[in-house]
Amino acid sequence: MSQSSLIDSSLTGHLILWSALGLSILSCGTGLLAVRRRGLQLAEMAKRGLVATTVLILSANLLLLAALISRDFSLFYVASYTSRSTPRVYAFSALWAGMEGSLLFWTLTTSLFAAAAVGFRKISSPLIPGATAVLSAILAFFLGLLVFGADPFSISSPIPQDGGGLNPLLQSPFMTIHPVMLYLGLTGFAVPFSFAISSLIAGRQDVHWFTSTRRWTILAWSLLTVGILLGSAWAYSELGWGGYWAWDPVENASLLPWLTATAFLHSMMIQERRGMLKVWNVGLIIGTYSLSIFGTFLTRSGLLSSVHTFSESPVGKYFLPMLGLILVGSFALLGWRLDRLRSERQLESMLSREAMFLFNNLLFIGIAFTVLWGTLYPILVEAIEKTRISVGPPFFNAVVTPIGLALLGLTGIGPMVAWRKPSVTTLRRQLALPLIAGTATVLALAAAGVRSAGALFAMSLCSFVAVATIAEFAQGARAHRGPGPFGYISGLRRVVGRNRRRYGGYVVHLGVVLIFLGLSGSAFKQTWTGELKPGESFEIGTFKVQYVSSNIRVTDEKMINMAIMQVSENSKVVKTLRPQRNFHLQQRQPQSEIGLMSTLSRDLYLVLTNMDRERSVTIKAWVNPLVAWIWLGGVVMTLGMIVIISGRPPRPQTLRAQDSVKASAPLQPKEQVRV
């Protein structure tokens, strides 16, 4: 690297960040002024400022990316996370592999969401100036962090010949996508948050703040869901411990905003339809955004250690005041506007859609509180008693499993129940088929020899919900069926096409059922650990696994120890698995590559933990039933999300069409449209 390029990237980077910081502060101030004076020109300026800030942030990211790809080791960040032997695609993902780069990238995703949600909208729409101010303030905070706390453009001196390289655990296709999804999801909640704050500032009491940002909220939620699922798929296929979710504090940090956001997606329907829960909804979106900031704080504070945390850094101390400001500021604003956010109606029946949503919210928040408490409890105890304790997965499993199953049950019942005061007889009729399916499942599984009460219950609940959800589709198709033999299919197409949000939601529910089915398989997990000489074998579940031979190779990057394992079932060879234990020469770190045979009924998962000089191997093996259904459920959920997002924003007609399907509870005309 020449001396001139050294000065260039670093100096240019700093210049861009500083100007973006200045511009974001300016557009925040202009936005606030526009709110105060109701000035359209000021609002336009603020909006343009936000878009320009986004362009600057984007160019800072591109600059760092270019430096990473050209391996410009004059930048300390580049030298820390790439080396000459790092494959190009992973040099790309090194942008978010380190603390400084990931913050820069986090700022980028926030700004892209902000510019997209605000930039293409008419400034005359009333919430824009306030939202612009809030979003600019958020960007200003992160830009300040980049300028003062975590500089991605600092110079390395002396310039090293080669860089440190990317951690081999991060060199996985999952790791190129998973953080991107997660970041987009977490930062996307800035949009509904900023509109909620803007609505509070303006003292409005309508639903405009979330109806006009709903697609962004759903998009953010979808990306977060996919990000979390990809993260657990990465843990399962890369970390080699046979599991996919460990209740690690950082996993929890991504789950927390997901839980409150999911509660919000459901409860905003009550406000939209019935004018209830206004304060609660604003509270939920404030909570969701705060939790997503809290998550970034946890991973960067050095407060806890996990496989996902970045190294300790001074950045943590900036986050707490930011979090405090968001919480205190937002809730103070909410308190100030409390009198304007009265419920327009009250609950009319315990067996109404409203009540189902309320219980849904209660349970989601219950899980969120459990996860938050379990994550923070060790920190609190250490601070108060000075003893260090740990809260393990048994705690989370014991509390979250029953609440999760109750929620699953609601997933089945909720959509059957109409708004306001449904008739009990209709509900009873709708419940019959799902109940029969659930009972039949218990009997069939018990007859097949399943004895775990928890798994029996979970699986029968899964079939109850699946049948109830499919019945919703069937009912809709019948109500809209056309003539001829394919009338039902055209009816299904028509009803789904007209109510994408609703039926897309049901598809997401079906995905959730599949995920629960996969999770319940963990009750039948089997494991085996032992040492094998070449030719020896062991049995696990219905499999016989033989250690046939070994293979040792050395490449530029790593030394590969591979065990060739032949898997047979019923004395027939079904597959050869090749678990590896590799030693990365540059990072001087071992890394396991698992041997995995995945089928719909079960996974066989082999980890090579050691190979000695006589070529004896130590193998840890798992049989994980039904795990594939988790990933399948994730795919189904994603399809559902695509259906939801592809729908047009609801028009009054669409709302009415939704009601005509629910024949049991006709709404009063004046209540049908609440936009």
Q: Would you tell me which residues interact with another protein (CB under 8 A)?
A: 80-81, 83, 97-98, 163-167, 169-170, 240-241, 305, 307, 309-312, 346-350, 352, 355, 358-359, 362-363, 366, 369-370, 373-374, 377, 387-395, 398-399, 402-403, 529-531, 586-592, 607, 609-610, 612, 618, 620
Please give the structure tokens belonging to residue 122.
């008419």
Kindly tell me which of 32 and 563 has the beta carbon lying closer to another protein: 563
Nearer to another protein, 269 or 403 (CB): 403
Sign of the torsion angle spanned by Cα atoms 62, 68, 74, 76: positive
SS (H, E, C) 242-310: CCCCCCCHHHHHHHHHHHHHHHHHHHHHHHHHHCCCHHHHHHHHHHHHHHHHHHHHHHHHCCCCCCCCC
Minimum CB–partner distance for residue 389 and another protein (Å): 5
Question: Toward another protein, which CB reaches closer, 26 or 427?
Answer: 427
Task: Compute the distance between CA of residue 486 and CA of residue 58 in angstroms, rounded to an integer.
Answer: 51
Strand order in the sheet with 602-611: 526-532, 617-625, 602-611, 595-598
Q: How far is CA 195 from CA 114, 200, 288, 314, 441, in A?
A: 11, 9, 14, 31, 46
Min. distance of Cβ 358 from another protein in angstroms?
A: 6
CA 284/CA 396 separation, integer angstroms: 22
Return the number of the residue (150 or 197) whose C-beta is nearest another protein. Answer: 150
Return the residue matching tokens 């592809």.
646
Residue with Cβ nearer another protein (61 or 361):
361
Cα separation, 256 vs 287, in Å, equals 10
Alpha carbon distance 309, 316 (integer Å): 12
Which residue lies nearer to another protein by CB, 98 or 634?
98
Is the bond preceding residue 158 a cis peptide, omega within 30 degrees?
A: yes
**Residue 592, beta-bridge partner list:** 581
Measured CA to CA, the distance from residue 419 to residue 351 in angstroms comes to: 9
Choice between 209 and 247, CB closer to another protein: 247
CB of 323 to another protein, least distance (A): 23
User: Smallest distance, Å, CB 640 to another protein?
Assistant: 27
Give least dist CB 638 to another protein, A: 28
CB of 391 to another protein, least distance (A): 5
Smallest distance, another protein to C-beta of residue 97, A:
7
Alpha carbon distance, N-terminus to C-terminus of the chain:
59
Report the C-alpha gap between 228 and 261 in whole angstroms. Answer: 14
Instruction: Quote the least distance from Cβ 128 to another protein, whole Å.
Output: 37
- CB nearer to another protein: pick between 79 and 471: 79
Residue 530's DSSP bridge partners are 619
Report the residue number, 155 or 399, with the smaller CB distance to another protein.
399
**CB-CB neighbours of 194 under 10 Å:** 30
84: left (phi over 0), alpha (psi -120 to 50) or beta: alpha
Q: Which one, 171 or 460, has the nearer CB to another protein?
A: 171
**Exposure pattern of 58-76 as b/e (b: 16+ CB <10 Å)?**
bebbebbbebbbebbbbbb
User: Tokens 């700022």 sit at which residue?
Assistant: 107
**Closest distance of CB 399 from another protein, Å:** 5
Shortest Å distance, C-beta 461 to another protein: 18
Closest separation in Å from C-beta 447 to another protein: 32
- Which one, 324 or 530, has the nearer CB to another protein? 530
Task: Give the C-alpha separation, 119 to 55, whole Å.
Answer: 12
Of the two residues 333 and 399, which places its CB atom closer to another protein in the complex? Answer: 399
Quick one: tokens of 337? 């506007």
Closest distance of CB 177 from another protein, Å? 17
Q: Which residues contact 164 (CB under 8 A, 6 or more apart)?
A: 79, 80, 81, 82, 83, 586, 587
Cβ nearer to another protein, comparing 20 with 166: 166
Task: Give the Å distances, CA to CA, from 545 to 524, 548, 578, 596, 639.
Answer: 19, 9, 12, 12, 37
Nearest approach in angstroms of CB 406 to another protein is: 8
